[in-house]
A and B are shown apart, each in its own frame.
Chain A
Amino acid sequence: MVFKDFAFKIGYCFYGIVIGKFYKQLHPDQFGMKRAIADRSILDKFCTDFCSVVDRHAKYIIVSGFLAIASGRTRGTEDIDIIVEKLNKQKFIGMHNDLVKRGFICMQSDNPEEIYDNYLSQKASVRYTYKNEPIPEMELKLAKDELDLYQIKTRVKIPLTGLEVWFSSINMNVAFKEEYLKSDKDMEDARHLRIVYAEQISEDKIKSIKQMIKKLRL
């Protein structure tokens, strides 16, 4: 009888745990989870999923428009730009296969050797998407010069974005947008970043990065 009572109590506890877990899934807001889930946009999730795979193989940075969007700019984009440190073919093949295993597909080809030889080694970019979904895209290129390497070396995580991915620095992005890209959209992105991250903006750093851009890219 004592054993029967004990078994009943154990069973009841187990039942309680299972029911609790279901309740937690159905009512995440009461467990502090709602904000984290609701605050991640389709673009945030795509970027985080992709970067978590790349991170296992190489250093990378997210640059340009997505930093502005992740920092609150209200505009659309079809692609996120990622620069990955220089990889040899073998390492790239490993990374590509891992991306495919995680549900990504390269728009240019299924063959990683072809992607490396015909695109990446020629300093051209390739685009990855979720399988069967042409948007959003991740535009991937390998670091091509001193400036890209410098951007990777000075990469940062930016808490305001709420994303666990590596970005090139705020000053770097502002300098590129104002000195190199210069479209209306880019100038607006730069203005947005200058206001949102006013405390991190360094005119001296921006000036010296602009000089590097003039020397290496213009």
Chain B
Amino acid sequence: MRDKTHMEQVERWALYVKSHPDWKKKHTRFIDSLYEKAGSFIHALAKQKNGKDKIIKLYGIKNVKGYKKLLG
């Protein structure tokens, strides 16, 4: 169980979203940065020894040919 300060932060941010119409700009930057980071890591991992196998295992990819550019 996370401590109560975690839920307090959730509440603080929810109130911010409710009262600031520009919340989506900040939020979009946050979400995009997660995907950009993960995406560049996956591409770096694919270049490592056994990296492609690790990606297949990580994401449970069965249809490998659908990811030919990354895993081929």
Q: Chain A residues in contact with chain B, CB under 8 A?
A: 38-44, 69, 71-74, 76, 105-110, 127, 131-137, 162, 184, 187-188, 191-192, 195-196, 198
Interface size, chain B (Cβ < 8 Å) = 38
A44 to B40, CA, bound (A): 19
Q: Which of B11, B27, B30, B34 contacts A191 (CB 8 A)?
A: B11
Do A192 and B2 touch (CB < 8 A)? no
19 new A-B contacts, CB < 8 A, other than A41-B27, A134-B59, A188-B10, are A39-B28, A41-B31, A42-B36, A44-B28, A72-B17, A105-B66, A107-B62, A108-B63, A127-B60, A131-B66, A132-B70, A133-B39, A133-B67, A136-B35, A184-B1, A191-B14, A192-B10, A192-B14, A195-B18
Chain A positions within 8 Å of B39 at CB level:
133, 135
Q: How far is the CB of A64 from chain B (nearest CB, A)?
A: 16
- Within 8 Å of chain A (Cβ to Cβ): is B49? no
Interface string of B24-44 (1 = CB under 8 A from A): 110110111011101100100
Residue of A nearest to B61 (CB): A107
Q: Are B59 and A107 in contact (CB under 8 A)?
A: yes
Partner-A contacts on B (CB < 8 A)? 1-2, 6-7, 10-11, 13-15, 17-18, 23-25, 27-28, 30-32, 34-36, 38-39, 42, 55, 58-63, 65-70
